[in-house]
Amino acid sequence: MAPGAETCLDDHRALQNLRFHAAPWRFAGTGGALVRTFKLDGDAAAGRLLARAMALALRRHGLGPKWRRAILVPVPLHAARRRERGFDQAAWLAAAIGQRLALPVEPTVLVRVRATLPQGDPRVLSRAGNVDGAFAVAQPNRIAGRRVILVDDVLTSGATLRQCAALLRAAGATGVGAVTACRS
């Protein structure tokens, strides 16, 4: 370590199975407010702001030469929650980011096979346990031999992204990164 250099004190266990994670905001403050406005109120203007910031974060952090041909895969909502909200926020963000960065989006590669409680629900005693077995790779041929960038709105414990990344790697993805609007 160079003289005067500081040791990274972050806990990187949340990023297991991920090559990188990019997020323009912390959840506290503006980022969290925008996510809630977009996700819960369906405010497309907030979604456009999130997508623009996420695309910039990817450009700065994750789109080196090996990742310029990656595909974007949104973390899917369960069908019941999608009906309740009227849209899937991660799929919406992935489409907007894909358009900005000219990256292909594969919204049907991952599927949510069982409903889960929202990760922030006080009844959730284990975030990892809440999402265990909740996802499956429906179209492994779309990701085999490819680099994949997962798209979601928030990374808190990383349980959802770790679960999805492990499934994608087991299905043949050569590397998995992630972009979220916020990180707690």
- Span 114-165, pLDDT tens digits: 877 667 777 777 777 767 788 999 999 999 999 999 999 999 888 899 999 9
Map residue 179 onto helix, strand or coil: strand
- The pair phi, psi for residue 68, each rounded to 5°, is -70, -15
- Going by pLDDT thresholds of 50, 70 and 90, the confidence category of residue 13 is low
Q: What percent of the chain has pLDDT over 70?
A: 89
Statement: residue 8 has pLDDT above 50: no
- The pair phi, psi for residue 84, each rounded to 5°, is -60, -45
Question: Distance (Å, rounded) from C-alpha 156 to C-alpha 75?
Answer: 14
Bridge pairing between strands 135-137 and 110-112: antiparallel
What value does the mean pLDDT take over residues 90-103? 97
Mean pLDDT value across the chain: 87
Q: Which two tokens stand for residue 166?
A: 């492990």
* Domain 17-118+125-183 coded CATH 3.40.50.2020: yes
pLDDT at 111: 95
Q: How many residues does the chain have?
A: 184
**Cβ 71 vs Cβ 105: under 8 Å:** yes
DSSP single-letter state for residue 75: P
